[in-house]
Amino acid sequence: MLDEAIAESESVFGLILLLASGCVGLVRRVLWLFMVAAHTASSIFSRQMEFDADRYEIALVGSDVFVTTGEELHLLNAASGHAMEGMYSLIKKAVMIDNIPRMIQLCRHKMPSDEVVKVKQFISSGKTGLLDTHPCTRERIEAAQRIGQEGVFTIDRPARELFRHYDALCSNVTQDFYRNAIGRLVNPSELQPVDQHLHVLMH
């Protein structure tokens, strides 16, 4: 009798554990669905905030400038990659340049037309994922073109003029880069003018 009671109690206890495990699994799935729904809604609202911010930029500088700026950011990103390759190539030769932002600018100016076309094709093929917090550049450009607004700010001047000590900032950024790259502080006298090493650009 005792053995039968123990066996019966074990089977009941096992059934309870099985039901509890099933309930936990069900609750987890429900919570997962809530999490995905919340994440999706958050991403949608975040993307809409970006479109709203874009409208303010468009109102200031106009749709055409917005489109040009969006494309130029991607081109500068590609130029930055070339600049990094060039700088690490020079580091292997114990050469350090004095102005990283200028090197990126030179890489952008020397960028071949076929690469510019590839970057623009990359932009035009962009897609926004369901959980992306920012819309792709293509969608932002298309939204700006639909607005088709003229800007109120028409001064065509280099952005560096907004900085009082632009050259000093470029020097600081450059020295910070080398400090992280080679693990020590760099004396300004160790840096060489970037214009002397243009041969490493876009190699």
pLDDT in tens, 96-138: 999 999 999 999 999 999 999 999 999 999 999 999 999 999 9
Q: Which residues pair with 192 in a beta bridge?
A: 97
pTM of the predicted model as reported, rounded to 2 decimal places: 0.81
> Residue 6's pLDDT is what?
46
Asked if residue 81 is part of any domain, the answer here is yes
Per residue in 167-198, pLDDT (tens digit) is 999 999 999 999 998 888 888 888 999 888 87
DSSP state of 12: H
Query: Which of the four pLDDT bands, split at 50, 70 and 90, describes residue 21?
Result: confident
Tokens 């494309």 belong to: 71
- On the question of pLDDT at 75 being above 80, the answer is yes
> Residue 197's pLDDT is what?
82
% of the chain residues with pLDDT over 90: 67
Distance CA 107, CA 78 (A): 9
Distance CA 72, CA 89 (A): 25
The residue range of the domain holding 68 is 57-200
How far from each other are the two terminal CA atoms of the chain, in whole angstroms? Answer: 89
Asked if residue 6 is part of any domain, the answer here is no
**Average pLDDT score, the chain:** 89
Asked if residue 183 is part of any domain, the answer here is yes
> Residue 70's pLDDT is what?
96
Asked if residue 48 is part of any domain, the answer here is no
Asked if residue 23 is part of any domain, the answer here is no
- On the question of pLDDT at 37 being above 50, the answer is yes
Asked if residue 127 is part of any domain, the answer here is yes
- Tell me phi and psi for residue 149, to 5 degrees: -100, 145
Asked if residue 193 is part of any domain, the answer here is yes
Asked if residue 37 is part of any domain, the answer here is no
Number of domains composing the chain? 1
Between 25 and 101, where is the model more confident? 101
Distance CA 188, CA 182 (A): 15
